[in-house]
Amino acid sequence: MPRQPDDAYQELVSHLRQTELLSSCSALLGWDEQTYMPPGGAEHRANQLSLLSGMVHERATAPQVGALLDELGGSDLLAFPDSPAAVNVREARRDYSRAVKLPRKLVEELTRVASLAQQQWVAARKRSDFSLFYPWLDKMVALKREVAGAIGYGAGVPYDALLDEFEPGLTSAEVVRLFTPLRDALVELLSAIQGASRRPDRSLITRNYPVDAQRRFSQEAARQIGFNFDDGRLDETAHPFCSGIGPGDTRLTTRYDAHHFSGAFFGTLHESGHGIYDQGLNREAFGLPMGAAVSLGIHESQSRLWENFVGRSLGFWRHFYPGAQAAFPEALGDVSLEAFHGAINVVEPSFIRVEADEATYNLHILLRFELEQALIAGNLAPADVQSAWNETFTRYFGLTPPDDAQGCLQDIHWSCGLVGYFPTYCLGNMYAAQFFVAAQNDLGDLGAQFARGEFAALKHWLNDRIHRRGKQYRAQDLVKVVTGQSLSHTALVQHLRDKYSAIYGL
Amino acid sequence: MPRQPDDAYQELVSHLRQTELLSSCSALLGWDEQTYMPPGGAEHRANQLSLLSGMVHERATAPQVGALLDELGGSDLLAFPDSPAAVNVREARRDYSRAVKLPRKLVEELTRVASLAQQQWVAARKRSDFSLFYPWLDKMVALKREVAGAIGYGAGVPYDALLDEFEPGLTSAEVVRLFTPLRDALVELLSAIQGASRRPDRSLITRNYPVDAQRRFSQEAARQIGFNFDDGRLDETAHPFCSGIGPGDTRLTTRYDAHHFSGAFFGTLHESGHGIYDQGLNREAFGLPMGAAVSLGIHESQSRLWENFVGRSLGFWRHFYPGAQAAFPEALGDVSLEAFHGAINVVEPSFIRVEADEATYNLHILLRFELEQALIAGNLAPADVQSAWNETFTRYFGLTPPDDAQGCLQDIHWSCGLVGYFPTYCLGNMYAAQFFVAAQNDLGDLGAQFARGEFAALKHWLNDRIHRRGKQYRAQDLVKVVTGQSLSHTALVQHLRDKYSAIYGL
């Protein structure tokens, strides 16, 4: 019997699964590097990760994959574009055509440099000294420019080749089109807030919050909103993240500060949102596009949705506040629910992105988007990042970072080679706002559900509409399928206006 | 220019290093499996480890390796048998000839079953129910018999093929020849101890030892004897172990019981001894036989040396006891140094191997050696292990284990496929005794050094004589090179007689 398209498809599926299985070993090594690896292990770890990334790349670019994709060209299997087989082949084709453009040496070098640069970033951030990190940023930017050149790009914008890795199909021109009206609306809203007469007291969240109690309280909240700790865990790292190791193994991290409630708590909810997405993927499709997240922007929509639309809402705290008062009697014993809700929603220019309020957060992203575009275009030298950061920050926020740890060294991303990643955070906020409106329309008064400690309906809605679909739709199409509308800034702006009108009495 | 032997050697070296680098990724995944992996991750982990072991096996058995070894056949590079190149080639040849006998499918299946069986062992041990573990033991024994058949063996003893993996060149006949006089001497010594009129009070070590204080105290002791925490760490697991991930990354584990001082403390010293060996290997030779440990017996000699010859000596406690009294005032405030030293050296039949005293410990090994020989010979069915264990235990110790957790489920080894491994523990005791005598001869009164908190001279002596030599000599030869004599039971028996004569007034 001649070979059937179905055989080619099965062979492709098996190849993709094995590649992802190998790649998931790197994920565990990367997680360990940031959680438990002793400092002396850094060099060996870099060698391990470099070897694995090279092997993964070799598998991803194997001529066999190209041949299978060719063979599947006009197959009936792909007749329905939204069918699992068609989606898997479509995305495999995209990944393959990107991967073959990158020489294995470059991929290995990127991984090796990223692993070492991360260690240097940790050390530099600890001493708040950009000069310790700069040589590594320099290497990394050069490598990412090389990547952009190898991948290729339209419209003369090398940055677009990097952005496309995280948010497939999106260009920086489109990002600018989405971000510009958002920025204008935010500037207007911030101005209104600064002129408001009612002002919540932010100092409530910088009272004494014992770390052990924070650990218990955050973990319990993560559990209640739906993160499954049988299939995951929560650790502590310099920079919080979520890493999906594979089916049944999703790992979150956070960091605690005894004098800052919001950092760890909302950080944990944020990473839990990522984790709930990973745990909601179709396990049977592990290793295939149908079992993978759509894009980083959509991933971020899930984290921001749980962090902000759920976690910073009044309904959520109607349920959790008695427990918070019991856990932190010294800090919260004399604080009303409304005062606490105001405190966790104070809008105020601040230095650290991950601790920023929902409104100014987006400006932190605009700053990074601006700088990394310039870095990749070659208009900003890595050596000048510190001064460029401080100048741009002053322009956006009217403040100058007191040191590098609170300035250009605060984020791990560039050290890991994540350039073109930051815009997805702001996109995530926009997606989240639109999804949340659609969920409310379907599920009724979510605030009332949260107040009763009910989070399952929302979680299942997200599971069904987004998580279980894998990469069936590209991000821009998924938004339309789920919400009936193209992505825009309007739902986010409406959400912020409504929230801050209530809190600030605008 | 024609290709030179040196080129072939460099190619071999590079191949071996890469293979070990890949294998070290499995080491990290294995460590994580036992420390931090969430329960839901077990299946995916088994798949990851199985894939990696298959890839490592494929590299280890690549025809290219055979061709390089052939090419190096009569090369001048190998003129001096103790030279690094000759050693690397000799051991590479041994590893290759073993590896090519094992089909990849079998290697992958072994890894997959080991990973799942370990999880089942943890669950079975928790419930103290052998019936939960038996099906996995059955699978594992069948696989190990298949391995023995594939490797081949002399004298009609399949067990020897397994033993040879851990203690190259040793046969079970030779082990019996070494163990028999040891057993006879131990039986005589135990009888003398049981008739002694002076009896230390063992209950002192089962007083209240708060776990946090144990953690600090054990870790500090590990540090003081020479384990480098910049290049390693200490965690908690169901079964203590040491895992060398690679240069600069050596990981120990232990377990704490608030009512048993010795378990965690001597367990930590034991694993630190393994760790000090790993940290003492030649980093530049990572991935090569010259940068690897000689055998498991020699590895165990290092752990037992630090645990028993150092850690249970009076000199050691002259230095550490004041700190112990400060750390555990409730338990030790009213206890003299001599009484404490007696308590940690009580000789008494007991159920748990890793908590046994130095004398009866060896009987625990004899029992396991007997059972696993029978399992592999096909004279004992895995289903009958529980009853065979209990009967044999009664014969050796005059006691019957009250449950499986304290009986046949106490050790992780068989679940991981470590069959033929147990004898190396008893060999380790014998090697340790002989090394310690040699070290005393070279370094003078070690007890007096320990009493001053000085452990560096002994550590450096071990680094020079044993660790830095890698696999330059096979175990039996190394003993002769280092101590001037073949391995025998005499140094161990002398050590035990001296120690217990003092404590029990024999």
10-residue mean pLDDT series, chain B (506 residues): 81 98 98 96 94 95 97 91 96 96 92 90 95 96 97 93 95 96 94 93 97 98 98 93 97 96 96 98 97 97 98 98 98 97 95 92 96 96 96 93 96 95 97 98 98 98 98 96 97 98 94
**Cβ separation B21–A51 shorter than 8 A:** yes
Facing residues of B251 across strands? B233, B243
The distance from CA B361 to its chain's CA centroid, rounded to whole angstroms, is 13
Structure tokens at A366: 């605009």
Cα–Cα dist B109/B120, whole Å: 16
**Cβ separation A233–B48 shorter than 8 A:** no
**Cβ separation B41–A235 shorter than 8 A:** no
What does the DSSP 8-state code read for residue B417?
Answer: T
Chain A residue with CA closest to B246: the answer is A44
**Cβ separation B42–A245 shorter than 8 A:** no
Chain A residue with CA closest to B235: the answer is A36
SS3 A166: helix
In the chain, the amino acid numbered A145 is R
Element (H, E) at A293: none
Residues of A in contact with B28 (CB under 8 A): 28-29, 32, 48
What pLDDT does A108 receive?
87
Structure tokens at B65: 């390796």
**Cβ separation B41–A229 shorter than 8 A:** no
Whether B200 and B342 have beta carbons less than 8 Å apart is answered as: yes
Cα–Cα dist B221/B265, whole Å: 9
The strands making up B249-254's β-sheet, listed across from edge to edge, are: B232-236, B249-254, B242-246
**Cβ separation A246–B28 shorter than 8 A:** no
Structure tokens at B289: 């036989």
**Cβ separation A44–B245 shorter than 8 A:** yes
What pLDDT does B1 receive?
55
Chain B residue with CA closest to A23: the answer is B48
Block residue for tokens 């199985």: B50
SS3 B81: coil
Cα–Cα dist B395/A84, whole Å: 63
What pLDDT does B249 receive?
98
Structure tokens at B457: 């001279």
What is the set of active-site residues of A? Answer: 271
**Cβ separation A249–B45 shorter than 8 A:** yes
Whether B11 and B277 have beta carbons less than 8 Å apart is answered as: no
Facing residues of A236 across strands? A254
Of A73-82, A279-288, B12-21, B158-167, the poorest mean pLDDT is in A73-82
What pLDDT does B189 receive?
95
Residues of A contacting chain B (CB within 8 angstroms): 18, 21-22, 24-25, 28-29, 32, 35-45, 47-48, 51-52, 55, 228-233, 235, 245-249, 251, 286
B39: nearest CB among A40, A41, A230: A230
Cα–Cα dist A320/A322, whole Å: 6
Q: Which of B382, B438, B432 is nearest to B139 (CA)?
A: B382
pLDDT, mean over chain A: 96
**Which candidate in A17, A22, A28, A35 is best for mutational testing of the B interface (most B CBs within 10 A)?**
A28
Chain B residue with CA closest to A20: the answer is B48
Structure tokens at A235: 């650790």
Residues of B in contact with A285 (CB under 8 A): none
Which residues are CB-neighbours of A397 under 8 A, at least 6 positions away? A349, A350, A360, A363
In the chain, the amino acid numbered B326 is A
B287: closest CA of chain A, how far (Å): 11
pLDDT band at residue A1 under the 50/70/90 scheme: low
B285: closest CA of chain A, how far (Å): 13
B49: closest CA of chain A, how far (Å): 9
Q: Which residue has the higher pLDDT, A104 or A55?
A: A55
A21: nearest CB among B25, B40, B51: B51
Chain B residue with CA closest to A22: the answer is B48
Chain A residue with CA closest to B26: the answer is A25
**Cβ separation B249–A51 shorter than 8 A:** no
For the stretch A159-204, pLDDT in tens is 999 999 999 999 999 999 999 999 999 999 999 999 998 999 999 9
A36: nearest CB among B25, B55, B233: B233
The average pLDDT across A254-261 equals 96
Distances (CA, A) of B17 to A51, A104, B2, B22, B89: 11, 19, 25, 9, 13
A40: nearest CB among B37, B55, B249: B249
Residues of B in contact with A40 (CB under 8 A): 228, 230-232, 247-249
Active-site residue, selected from the candidate residues B33, B91, B167, B271: B271
**Side-chain half-sphere CA neighbours of B103 within 13 A:** 7
**Cβ separation A230–B51 shorter than 8 A:** no
Highest mean pLDDT among A467-471, A502-506, B165-169: A467-471
Q: What is the pTM of this model?
A: 0.92
A230: nearest CB among B38, B230, B233: B38
Block residue for tokens 């006891």: B321
B38: nearest CB among A24, A43, A233: A233
The distance in angstroms from the start CA to the end CA of chain A is 74
**Which candidate in A22, A29, A44, A219 is best for mutational testing of the B interface (most B CBs within 10 A)?**
A44
What pLDDT does A2 receive?
60
A285: closest CA of chain B, how far (Å): 13
B21: closest CA of chain A, how far (Å): 6
Q: Which of A282, A274, A291, A301 is nearest to A482 (CA)?
A: A301
Residues of B in contact with A43 (CB under 8 A): 247-248
What does the DSSP 8-state code read for residue B235?
Answer: E
Structure tokens at A53: 């990334």
Classify burial at B375, counting beta carbons within 10 Å of its beta carbon; exposed 0-12, middle 13-18, buried 19 or more: buried
A232: closest CA of chain B, how far (Å): 5
SS3 A242: strand
**Cβ separation B229–A38 shorter than 8 A:** yes
B85: closest CA of chain A, how far (Å): 23
B88: closest CA of chain A, how far (Å): 21
Residues of A in contact with B251 (CB under 8 A): 38
Chain A residue with CA closest to B233: the answer is A38
In the chain, the amino acid numbered B309 is F
Distances (CA, A) of B343 to A38, B348, B503: 35, 11, 10
Chain B residue with CA closest to A39: the answer is B230
What does the DSSP 8-state code read for residue A294?
Answer: S
Q: What are phi and psi of A505, to 5 degrees?
A: 60, 45
Cα–Cα dist B86/B65, whole Å: 16
Angle among Cα A141, A145, A147 to the nearest 5 degrees reads 115
Cα–Cα dist A457/A383, whole Å: 50
What pLDDT does B154 receive?
84
Q: Which of A327, A222, A317, A217 is nearest to A279 (CA)?
A: A222
The number of beta carbons lying within 10 Å of the beta carbon of residue A506 is 15
Cα–Cα dist B422/B300, whole Å: 10
**Cβ separation B25–A52 shorter than 8 A:** yes
Q: Which of B313, B318, B362, B319 is nearest to B342 (CA)?
A: B313
What pLDDT does A367 receive?
96
**Cβ separation B247–A42 shorter than 8 A:** no
